Each structure stands twice: as C-alpha cells, then as structure tokens.
A and B are shown apart, each in its own frame.
Chain A
Amino acid sequence: MSTGKLLLSPDRFALTIERLCCQLIEDWDNFADACVVGIQPRGVALADRIHSRLTALTGNPDIPYGKLDITFYRDDFRLHDKPLAPHPNDMDFLVAGKKVLLVDDVLYTGRTIQAAFSALQHYGRAQVVELLVLVDRRFNRQLPIQADYVGISVDALDEAYVKVHWKENHGVDEILLFDKKHPA
C-alpha cells in the first residue's frame, strides 16, 4: 500500500473542527429552527462531531440531526458494473421552514451534493440550505456547487484521491492525499 501525503495532522484536525463550529455559531447563533444533516456514509462521521460540538457550544440540546442516504437519488445509477449499495437513512423530522446545514467529508465533483438536494426536497421546502465540507477539492468540480464552510482546500489532479481517516473507524483523525484513486 502506498502511503499518502499528510494534509491535516490529528491536532490540526481538531482545531479545524473547532473553527468550523465557531464560524457556524457566529453566523447561525443558537441553531433555533436549524438542523444538521449528514450525508451517508462518510459525511456522517463529520456530522457526528459537528453536531455534538455545536450542542455543547450553543447549550441547545435539541438541534435536530439526520443522516441522509442519497444512493437512490444518484445520477450514475446503471453506470457501474455493480449496484450502488445503500446505507441506512435516518431522518425523523421534516426540514420545511428550517435552516439546514448539509455536511459531507469531501466536496469533489459536486454530484453527491446535487443528489442530496433531490433527497432533501422529499423532506419539505427548507428555508435555507448551507453546505459544510471538511475538504474542498476546488478545481475538480463538474457542477456549479460551492461550500459555505470549508475545513481545508486542496488543489489536486483529477487522478488523485483524498481520504479522511476518523478516530472511530481508523484509529486516528487525519486527511491523506494519494496519487492514484482508491488505494488498496
């Protein structure tokens, strides 16, 4: 296995999450009438952290938190040789009239976010939707979609692959850059 280049070390990682939460509170105050929606599967790890930190910082214990699976809304259905495997969807509230913070780990082509918009529409007409991502690969977009809150921006070739490791799953919080897609 090739080792990737370290883009964000564990201590910087924690600082970045803290900075994003502070930015959010600056803009959104105490999150009354707001909700956090993580995109399955990889956006949820980030959304878990953001949601628990926001709860602690705002003192508002009732910020609604949903996990949105966008598999059935993707535009590349039938373009792969294997079916896209869905993940559990857990949204027990409607977003009608709410401010929605959509959370994903890496913003790359923008197609995941486009699918997330379609999925989100099924839960009502949100008042505002804003997007938070940990990594913005800003030169690889295929659709006109931009994030409102960004952890780090990465300028990389299309062949490159950015991977976010989480303490819960990989033992350490870090972001790595690989030369080739899908390292073994």
Chain B
Amino acid sequence: MSKKLSTRHLIGIKDITADDIRLIFETADNFKEVINRPIKKVPSLRDITVANIFFESSTRTRISFELAERRLSADIVNFAASSSSVSKGETLLDTVNNILAMKVDMVVMRHPAPGACVYLSQRIPANVVNAGDGTHEHPTQALLDAFSIREKLGDVAGKNVAIIGDILHSRVALSNVFCLQKLGAKVRVCGPPTLIPHHYRELGVEVSYDVRDTLRWCDVANVLRIQLERQDIKYFPSLREYHQYFGITRQMLDELDREIVIMHPGPINRGVELSSDVADSPHSIILQQVENGVAIRMAVLYLLAAQEQLSTT
C-alpha cells in the first residue's frame, strides 16, 4: 500500500513522524539501487524545477542535493548568496519570491539564521527543504546518518548512539537526537561542558564529559567537527588540548572489547576530533554516509514532489 509523508516541507526532524522517516528509508533503498546502476538516472521529476539557495557555504550538501536532483531529472537553478543581490540589500522573502516568479516548484535552502526555512515555508507556495538553518536543524543529514546506521547494523532501534564534539554549534546534533529517538535508539552527547547546552538534558539524552566512557557505552559514535567559524569566544584552551581530551585515536578504539562504528558528517578536521588512522579505518563509514546522502535526498525530493498534485488544467 502506498503511503505519503505527513508534511509538505522538510524543515526539521522534530516536525515529522517515525512513519515518515521509515517511508523515506524504504524509498531511499530503491534510489540507492538506482545510483549504482550503469545509468544512474530516472525521469520521475522531469517536470519539476528546484532552486538550490545557499546563503552559507557548503560543498558536500550542495553537491549531494544537486546530484540527487539531476538523477531524478529535475531542472535546477543554483544560487549562492555571495554572488547575488543579497549583498545589495534584498530581503530573503524578496529574493525567494523573485526566484519563484520564474516558476520554481521546490526550494532547497541553507541559511545561517535558525528558523529561516520555517519563515519561508509559511510564505511561499513551493515545497521547502531545509539544507541546514544556523544551529537549528539539518534534517537530511540526520536521515542519512540514521539510514547509514540501519544499513551497517540492521536496525536503529535499541542501539546506543553517541554524538561527540561541538554540540552547542551543531544543527547535525539536534536533528540526529530527534531522528534517533524517534527510531528508538538511546542517545548520549559528549564533549567539553562549554560546548554542551544545558537544554540537551531536557530532550531525554544522556550527557557525558568522558569520551573513553562514552566509547565503551556506544555502538555508534557520530563525531562532530569543532565549528571554529561559529565560535565567537574561546570554549576550550587550544585545539591540541581538545584533541588530547576529546579526540578519538586508534589506540582508544583498540582498547575497547568490541567494534564500534565511527561516523562523521564532514568536513573532518584530521588530528582534532578524529585522528587520521581512525578516519581511514574500517570502523569508519564516513564515505558510505556520503553515498547514502544522495539516495536519502532523492527519496525526500521524490516523496515531497509526488504529493503535489499536477494541475492538468
């Protein structure tokens, strides 16, 4: 029986249901097969135009969305704030409405302000997909992380997942917490006290400041980057000291009595949160995450587009 999503926009994992997540995963399984074919393209979205609007720099997410759109045969327009009228003082709504006036059906947006995608989704007729809004949410990243855990370990439910690093500045952490909890995993966040906001305890996650203990507890460690570009004050003395206390090394993994899975949303700062030999070890599924990212984004775009009735008049 075919199912549909409970939403017209993908703003955050907080707003969607566990059934939505499972539907996205089931659809992504099919798209993962598509992108491994000799011809990695299907014509589903041939009548859809997608605008990728990036007010913040991005390599992996933008390329991943762009490939997902191209492999669904959508028409795409790319827009980077740095080379646009935004620098001439145009507002977000004006910018987007001008793009929509050119008959665009979906908007994929990254913006430095938390809530920018909600604001937009309430004011424009197109479907909005959040590609990261400030320190709020990054839903497709959380979906691909959970999809990669499901692929590696069979299921997400019942697993212990640790999110280690700069929790304070991370939209990936928040989306991951919502996604993993909805799928029945236990979540722990770990990092220096200055980088873990107090409100995380209220989300029902464990908080730890001891990375060795956390590694012993978890089945999966999702390691986050220290986002120096968002840190306006000093949260820890030096990167070297951070690595000493919170960086994950091969030796720490060898001391464990079982194998754990290492994930990272990228970009990696080698020698800070992960040592190079861990990033390149068989424990790491970092490159599988990137591959799954395209399949997950294809599934999200497909399902959102499919719900919009085509007007034949």
Contacts and interface: CB of A to CB of B under 8 A. Distances in A.
B37 interface: yes
A85 B310 contact: no
Contacts of B237: none
B33 interface: yes
B43 A118 contact: yes
Interface in B2-20: 2-4
Interface centre among A79, A81, A122 (most CB of B within 10 A): A122
B3 A72 contact: no
Contacts of B309: 78-79, 81
A23 interface: no
Q: What DSSP secondary structure best describes chain B's contact surface?
A: loop
A167 interface: no
B3 A85 contact: yes
Contacts of A72: 30, 34, 42-44, 72, 302
A96 to B, nearest CB: 10
A87 B42 CA distance: 14
B101 interface: no
A28 interface: no
Given A83-B2, A122-B38, A69 B307 contact: no
A144 B237 CA distance: 74
B38 A123 contact: yes
Interface centre among B26, B34, B38, B42 (most CB of A within 10 A): B42
B311 to A, nearest CB: 9
Interface in B22-42: 26-27, 29-30, 33-34, 37-39, 41-42
Contact of B2 (A69, A77, A85): A85
A77 B45 CA distance: 8
A78 B43 contact: no
A80 B37 CA distance: 28
B303 A83 contact: yes
A170 interface: no
B305 interface: yes
Given A72-B43, A118-B43, A122-B39, A82 B4 contact: yes
B86 to A, nearest CB: 32
Interface in A59-98: 69, 71-73, 77-89, 91, 94
A82 B2 contact: yes
Interface in B258-296: none
A83 B3 CA distance: 7
B307 A83 contact: yes
A78 B306 contact: yes
A122 B305 CA distance: 23
A73 B312 CA distance: 19
A88 B26 CA distance: 10
Interface string A113-153: 00000100011000000000000000000000000000000
A73 B307 CA distance: 17
Contacts of A71: 30
A79 to B, nearest CB: 6
B1 interface: yes
Interface in B197-215: none
B44 A85 contact: no
Contacts of B90: none
Contacts of B42: 72-73
Contacts of B30: 69, 71-72, 86-89
A77 B306 contact: yes
B308 interface: yes
Nearest to A115: B43
Interface centre among A71, A80, A83 (most CB of B within 10 A): A83
Contacts of A69: 30
Contact of B305 (A78, A79, A86): A78
B3 A82 contact: yes
13 contacts: A77-B306, A78-B306, A78-B308, A81-B307, A82-B3, A83-B3, A83-B4, A83-B306, A83-B307, A85-B3, A85-B26, A123-B37, A123-B39
Interface of B: 1-4, 26-27, 29-30, 33-34, 37-39, 41-44, 47, 72, 302-303, 305-310, 312
Interface of A: 69, 71-73, 77-89, 91, 94, 118, 122-123
Which 5 pairs of residues, A with B, have the shortest CB-CB distance? A83-B306, A72-B42, A78-B310, A85-B2, A86-B30
